[in-house]
């Protein structure tokens, strides 16, 4: 299973084994990672599973769809070029070693 | 595969649906409901899967028992709820562009001020009906204000909602009574979905602006979705919340200690009580679920409420615990048809419960809670309480 690391805004980090096919949001929830709220349960409606992706790995992720694009304009912490919604990112083997930084606030 | 003869729309089941939900889950991943000749799913995994597969489990044949391909619906179908891709995508996109979390946040201060006023008045009274005076009073003020409806005529919103949500069930006495009671409301609702009757700057007016590619009639139907879906659901969630806190004072104490956790508490209320209990889907092809083959063109009843209390998914599923991480419940649905107003509902629940938690030490029942029977919703008709 690919390993993914979630880094909190205070610098503490958790590396977890991610099940292929689940979303990076679901993986965080499955492992009780704080800092991902995911209010809408993964439907790209709440912008509370915002993450900053390691810029070197952005190309390993699928492209932004229009829903995600719009929702990223609604995040509580500032949007960056590396911003994604973790509910829209399915885990693949290629993501092994991926590091996600979590924003200061989600709500 | 097991066939059950139970009537999920019988009065006594609607008044206390939990035992049937348990039996449905235990009977298997897919169950046959003999009485209505339909299929049912009640486990979290299968319900979620079906909601997230709109190509197989479609909505355009209606999300109630009635099959729109065989019967004429009692009102023009909703462009959102009762539609499939690609038409649904267009309508959905228009509405989400107006209801973004950013827009919802702009209502926070207004809602908080209204919550302060309402709670102060209720605390002064000490004893009140938590349905009429609290759970109905708040959404009936803030939501129509936000949509841009005039102050007069709002009393039509609840009978209209009752008609919509009972209309998803069989033609039982609840259906007939709701249709009779709501008859007068229909015209008012239709009238107030039109651009000229909606205040400028409100959500209704914004829908009309955002939906410029739609016909005038379609734009009105999009606004109608707000009026159908945005009131009764929230009313029931708020009433159920007060009942939960009256029945579980330890949870009220926990919220009192941390009023800032009211948003999570509201989420747990939605999981635990599921104001929207069920929706139907219709299969578009033969599909196999959990070893059971459902043919194409069949109605499938999805028990959202049962999924939200599935012990296969939720530890201590039948325990009301506001510290639980309730995200992932299907109380607002899931997938492309997930409730488009859910961020609004959360804001209403959050500000109102937080205000109540700051002002009220104890909530006690002052009489028997009375359920409000509905073919789709679970909530209360009255809830006499005493607060200190």
The answer to whether B101 and A106 have CB atoms below 8 angstroms apart is no
In angstroms, how far is CA B313 from the centroid of its own chain? 21
Cβ pair A41:B328 closer than 8 A: yes
The contacts of residue A31 (CB under 8 Å, 6+ apart) are A14, A16
Interchain contact B70–A (C-beta under 8 A): no
Geometric angle at alpha carbon B175, from B190 and B345, rounded to 5°: 60
Asked whether the beta carbons of residue A37 and residue B327 sit closer than 8 angstroms, the reply is yes
The stretches of chain B forming alpha helices (DSSP H) are 11-15, 18-27, 44-51, 87-98, 101-105, 108-125, 137-147, 157-166, 173-191, 203-210, 216-229, 232-247, 249-257, 262-273, 304-307, 342-359
Which whole number is the average pLDDT over B369-375?
98
Does pTM top 0.95 for this prediction?
yes
Residues of chain B positioned with their CB less than 8 A from the CB of A32: 325
CB atoms B335 and A32 under 8 Å: no
Chain B positions touching A47 (Cβ under 8 A) are: 101
Nearest C-alpha neighbor of B108 from the set B347, B354, B359:
B347
**Whole-number pLDDT of residue B180:** 97
Which candidate from A29, A48, A67 shows the least CB-CB separation from B328? A29
**Nearest CB partner across the interface for A43, out of B263, B325, B335:** B335
Whether the CB of A65 is below 8 Å from some CB of chain B: the reply is no
Q: Collapse the DSSP code of A81 into the 3-class scheme (helix H, G, I; strand E, B; otherwise coil) and give the result.
A: coil
- Is the predicted pLDDT of residue B1 greater than 90, yes or no? no
pLDDT of residue B325: 92
pLDDT tens for residues B240-279?
999 999 999 999 999 999 999 999 999 999 999 999 999 9
pLDDT score for A66: 87
CA dist B273 and B241 (Å) reads 8
Scored b (16 or more CB within 10 A) or e, B27-46 reads bbbbbbbeebebbbbbbbeb
Say yes or no for a CB contact (<8 Å) between A67 and B96: yes
Residues of A in contact with B335 (CB under 8 A): 43
Q: How confident is the model at residue B219 (pLDDT cuts 50, 70, 90)?
A: very high
Closest CA to B37 of B12, B59, B14, B70: B70
Residues of B in contact with A45 (CB under 8 A): 96, 101, 338, 340, 342-343
Say which of A40, A41, A70 has its CB closest to residue B100. A70
Q: Which residues pair with B129 in a beta bridge?
A: B384
| Contact between A45 and B325 using a beta-carbon 8 Å cutoff | no
pLDDT band at B326 (very low <50, low <70, confident <90, very high): very high
* Helix-, strand-, coil-residue percentages of chain B, each rounded to 5: 50, 10, 35
Per-block average pLDDT, block size 10, for chain A (107 residues)? 96 96 95 94 94 94 91 95 96 96 96
**What pLDDT shows up at residue B15?**
98
State pLDDT tens for residues B19-54: 999 999 999 999 999 999 999 999 999 999 999 999
* B186-206: average pLDDT: 97
What tens digit of pLDDT does each residue of B63-80 get? Answer: 999 999 999 999 999 999
Confidence of residue B387 (pLDDT cuts 50, 70, 90): very high
Indicate yes or no: CB of A42 within 8 angstroms of CB of B328.
Answer: yes
Chain B segment 301-360 residues within 8 A of A by beta carbon are 325, 327-330, 332, 334-336, 338, 340, 342-343, 346
User: How does the average pLDDT of chain B come out, rounded?
Assistant: 97
3-class SS at B316? Answer: coil
**Partner-chain contact B338 A45, CB within 8 Å:** yes
Give the pLDDT confidence of B127-162 residue by residue, as tens digits: 999 999 999 999 999 999 999 999 999 999 999 999
């Amino acid at each position: 299973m690919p390993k993914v690391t979630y880094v909190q805004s205070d610098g503490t980090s958790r590396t977890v084994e991610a099940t292929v096919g689940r979303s990076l949001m679901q993986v965080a929830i499955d492992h009780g990672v704080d800092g991902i709220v995911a209010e809408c349960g993964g439907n790209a409606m709440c912008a509370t599973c915002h993450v900053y992706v390691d810029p070197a790995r952005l190309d390993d992720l699928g492209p932004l769809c229009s829903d995600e694009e719009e929702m990223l304009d609604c995040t509580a912490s500032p949007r960056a070029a590396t911003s994604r919604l973790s509910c829209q990112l399915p885990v693949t083997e290629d993501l092994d070693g991926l590091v996600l930084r979590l924003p200061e606030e989600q709500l | 595969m097991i066939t059950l003869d139970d009537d999920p729309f019988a009065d006594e089941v609607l008044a206390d649906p939990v035992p049937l939900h348990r039996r449905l889950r235990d009977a298997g991943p897919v169950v046959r409901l003999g009485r209505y000749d339909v299929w049912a799913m009640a486990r979290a995994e299968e319900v979620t899967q079906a909601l997230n597969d709109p190509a197989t489990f479609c909505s355009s044949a209606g999300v109630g028992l009635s099959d729109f391909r065989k019967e004429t619906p009692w009102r023009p179908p909703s462009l959102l709820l009762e539609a499939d891709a690609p038409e649904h995508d267009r309508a959905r996109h228009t509405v989400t562009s107006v209801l973004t979390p950013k827009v919802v946040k702009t209502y926070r201060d207004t809602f908080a001020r209204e919550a302060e006023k309402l709670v102060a008045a209720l605390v002064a009274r000490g004893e009140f009906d938590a349905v009429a005076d609290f759970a109905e009073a708040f959404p009936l003020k803030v939501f129509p204000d936000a949509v841009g409806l005039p102050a007069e005529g709002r009393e039509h919103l609840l009978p209209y909602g009752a008609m919509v949500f009972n209309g998803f069930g069989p033609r039982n006495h609840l259906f007939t009574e709701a249709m009779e009671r709501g008859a007068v409301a229909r015209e008012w609702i239709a009238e107030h979905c039109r651009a000229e009757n909606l205040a400028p700057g409100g959500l209704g007016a914004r829908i009309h602006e955002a939906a410029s590619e739609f016909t005038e009639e379609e734009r009105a139907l999009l606004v109608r979705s707000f009026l159908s879906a945005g009131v009764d659901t929230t009313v029931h969630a708020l009433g159920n919340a007060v009942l939960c806190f009256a029945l579980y004072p330890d949870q009220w104490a926990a919220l009192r200690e941390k009023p800032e956790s009211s948003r999570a508490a509201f989420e747990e209320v939605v999981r635990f009580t599921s104001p929207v209990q069920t929706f139907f889907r219709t299969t578009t092809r033969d599909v196999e679920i959990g070893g059971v083959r459902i043919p194409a063109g069949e109605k499938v009843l999805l028990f959202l409420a049962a999924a939200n209390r599935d012990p296969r998914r939720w530890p201590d599923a039948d325990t009301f615990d506001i510290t639980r991480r309730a995200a992932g419940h299907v109380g607002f649905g899931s997938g492309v048809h997930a409730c488009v107003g859910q961020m609004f509902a959360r804001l209403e629940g959050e500000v109102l419960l937080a205000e109540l938690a700051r002002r009220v030490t104890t909530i006690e029942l002052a009489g028997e809670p009375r359920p409000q029977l509905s073919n789709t919703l679970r909530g209360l008709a009255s809830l006499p309480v005493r607060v200190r």
